[in-house]
Structure 1
Amino acid sequence: MSVENQSVINALVEGILGPEAAHAVLAALDIDPTLMAERGPAISRAAFAMAMNIALFHDLLERVPSGAAYVEDRLARGGKVVFDHGALRTVRLAQGPTGELPPGEEAFTRILAPLGYEMAAVYPLDRLRMTGRAYRHADLPEAIPQFFLSELHVDRFDPEFAEVAARVFGTSRDPLTAEAKAVLERYADGRPVSLAEAAAALPVIVAAFDRQHEPASIEDYELLLSRSHEAGWIATEGNAFNHATDRVADVAALAERLKVEDWPIKDRLEISRTGRVRQTALRADTVERLFAGDELRRVPGSFYEFISRDIDPETGGLDLAFDTGNATGIFAMTSAQGEGSA
């Protein structure tokens, strides 16, 4: 794979997705020209982070037919997607690691921090017994998607829940190889990473955004679900993108159009306390998942979200913040009852 006349992001995305899928997803996304202009020979942390996000966005669309249909509709109307952020859910057991994974969000901060992400804010999600944290890229914060990384706190639940959570999530394996960790260490130390090294590490790192534990039994799943829709969701979907988000100019107008066209859109808009951040989402698509004992069941999968961000008068740039109330309302998209359970 040569970068002499090719954007390194093109090269990395083609390497992991193949030429046809890479062309389609790159054509759908409005990516900062600065990122697309990078030619190497070393691959910057910003370019690697963007390529990783593009691969994760593609994975989300593969799992969320309603999101893929929306993207097709947006392209047909002459638009492109501005990928604002992706969201992940993690589990922090009462003590120790989560199986072979580091506890809670640490399974992903070990990836995000070397790639240039910094924690921007903490969002207590007390109703959900979770904590959310926003991670923003230091180099191009408006252009590279943020991560909304949340932790489910098992120690805030009853002992029976904790026992089942340890049994289910304690089977997690660590997907990161020594070679992928070495590439992350090179980024953390500010040492150059070649295209060959980046291309080899990218699929391994993208694979971390998936379910790492063994299939749960139906009984264990139902107990987790009875206490927490989010725990039930993580039991089947793991650390896959919970949602990916399109930054649009007027989310209220978009939501009204989608309602009229009978899309499975959230009933109401979520508006931050500042009024500058407004969000809505399509309801989660249903997916078929295999449980222990080869039992199949249809459960809520991931979903596609929309956000509008106004200018923050204090900074003169986009308000890149999140909001606890917004997040709690959006999280309900993966419960069986939808937003009514929020």
Structure 2
Amino acid sequence: MSNENISTIEALVVATLGKDIARQTLNMLTINPALLAESGNSVSRAAFAMAMNVCLFHDLLVRVPSGDAYVADTLARGGTVLFDHGALRAIRFPEGPTGALPGGEDAFTRIFLPLGFEMAALYPLERLRMTGRAYRHVDYPEAIPQFFLSELHVDRFDAEFGEAAARVFGTSRDPLDDAAKAVLARYAAGETVSLADAMAVLPTILSAFDRQHEPPAFDDYQLLLSRSNEAAWIATEGNAFNHATDRVANVAALADRLKAEDRPMKEKLEISATGRVRQTAFRADSVERPFADGELRMVPGSFYEFISRDIDPATGRLDLAFDTGNATGIFAMTSAKEAK
């Protein structure tokens, strides 16, 4: 079958994940028909963005068995997943880059902005000493998953924390090569990209969603953990998807059902100040990660989240906002005390 006979998104995902895994993952997701209608030998920014998100969703399920089991159950019930958003965490030093990696959110805005995302809102996470930002796609705001990108401000902690953070995160490399940067520059200039070029660079761009620094010393990890669960999480997981979120009709009813099934549910439902956005999640799955001493240790990994969004009466459209209180509550799913 030629690439002209299948959707651009499928062609990109197949080239990245392989035919069987790609089609299995695509079949899990509800994707806007307009996005799937694109085909041929050029790739729009929207198609590239959606293919990237499909691959990131697959990566999340590989790392999060509880989420994978939930999705399998959803499919068995005849349903699919409406992928609402994914979340990332980054480190912001007081000045300069993070090792060879651009500092904080800059490591990802250089990807998001060329692909058609714009910053939709800023969410101060003061209790966590972080700042969250929502990035929403200009062309398909309701159909392409948003990104909730948060950065942790090292300068809001004490000097000892700052020294440990420098030792851990200062070893970061830049995963983007010249070819990936060139494709992003063409998208930023408003051009389309050939399917061959898009296929070639998608794995490189996906590699940005990973740990870029060396395994941390355990003492440094413990020091970061004593001040910030989020910093400790980034020390082992890096910039991997922190969670992927399923947009469902009634998150409260779903949470009750999942609790009755003894799934690893968050106890409390998070409800936004407007009442229109309601969220809950599984607790993070534990994962085995290497440390600088060569030892493997169990730490909190990523998790799977659920959200319901109502119509905003002021606009008549789906309320795509986030909420500072909701985000702070959801972040607790990866705290070390939540790990088993």
Shorter chain as denominator, the TM-score bin is over 0.9
**Structure 1, gaps ≥5 residues long:** none
Query: Partner residue of 1:281?
Result: 281
3-state secondary structure, aligned to 2:95: coil
1:60-102 Cα offsets, whole Å, 9 max, x none, are: 0000000000000000111000000000000001221000011
**Hey, what's the Cα distance between the residues in 2 that align with 1:128 and 1:99?**
23
Letter in structure 2 aligned against 1:292: A
Q: Find out whether 1:137 has 2:140 as its counterpart.
A: no
1:121-142 Cα offsets, whole Å, 9 max, x none, are: 0000000000000000000000
**Hey, what's the Cα distance between the residues in 1 that align with 2:2 and 2:60?**
28
Q: Find out whether 1:89 has 2:89 as its counterpart.
A: yes
Alignment of 1:289-304 (within 5 A): 289-304=289-304
3-state secondary structure, aligned to 1:85: strand
3-state secondary structure, aligned to 1:294: coil
Shift of 1:42: 1.3
Alignment of 1:136-215 (within 5 A): 136-215=136-215
**Hey, what's the Cα distance between the residues in 1 that align with 2:95 and 2:185?**
27
Letter in structure 1 aligned against 2:119: M
State percent identity of aligned pairs.
74
Query: Partner residue of 1:108?
Result: 108
Query: Partner residue of 2:34?
Result: 34
Q: Find out whether 1:5 has 2:5 as its counterpart.
A: yes
3-state secondary structure, aligned to 1:166: helix
Letter in structure 2 aligned against 1:232: A
Shift of 1:229: 0.1
Shift of 1:336: 2.1
Shift of 1:279: 0.1
Shift of 1:296: 1.0
Query: Partner residue of 2:228?
Result: 228
Shift of 1:313: 0.8
**Hey, what's the Cα distance between the residues in 1 that align with 2:175 and 2:252?**
40
Query: Partner residue of 2:308?
Result: 308
Shift of 1:263: 0.3
Query: Partner residue of 1:268?
Result: 268
3-state secondary structure, aligned to 2:296: strand
Letter in structure 2 aligned against 1:20: D
Alignment of 1:120-135 (within 5 A): 120-135=120-135
Shift of 1:293: 1.6
Decide whether the 8 Å contact of 2:278 with 2:307 is kept in 1. Answer: yes
Alignment of 1:16-55 (within 5 A): 16-55=16-55
Query: Partner residue of 1:217?
Result: 217
**Hey, what's the Cα distance between the residues in 2 that align with 1:2 and 1:201?**
20
Shift of 1:315: 1.2
3-state secondary structure, aligned to 2:184: helix
1:250-287 Cα offsets, whole Å, 9 max, x none, are: 00000000000100000010000000000000000000
Query: Partner residue of 2:333?
Result: 333
Alignment of 1:71-86 (within 5 A): 71-86=71-86
**Hey, what's the Cα distance between the residues in 1 that align with 2:317 and 2:219?**
49
What is the TM-score normalised by the length of structure 2? Answer: 0.99
Q: Find out whether 1:238 has 2:252 as its counterpart.
A: no
Shift of 1:192: 2.2
Query: Partner residue of 1:255?
Result: 255
Decide whether the 8 Å contact of 1:284 with 1:303 is kept in 2. Answer: yes
3-state secondary structure, aligned to 2:166: helix
After TM superposition, the runs of 4+ consecutive aligned structure 1 residues lying more than 3 A away are none
Shift of 1:4: 1.4
Bigger shift: residues 38-47 or 61-70: 38-47
1:212-238 Cα offsets, whole Å, 9 max, x none, are: 000001000000000000000000000
3-state secondary structure, aligned to 1:337: helix
Decide whether the 8 Å contact of 1:94 with 1:162 is kept in 2. Answer: no
**Structure 2, gaps ≥5 residues long:** none
**Hey, what's the Cα distance between the residues in 2 that align with 1:138 and 1:153?**
28
3-state secondary structure, aligned to 2:104: coil
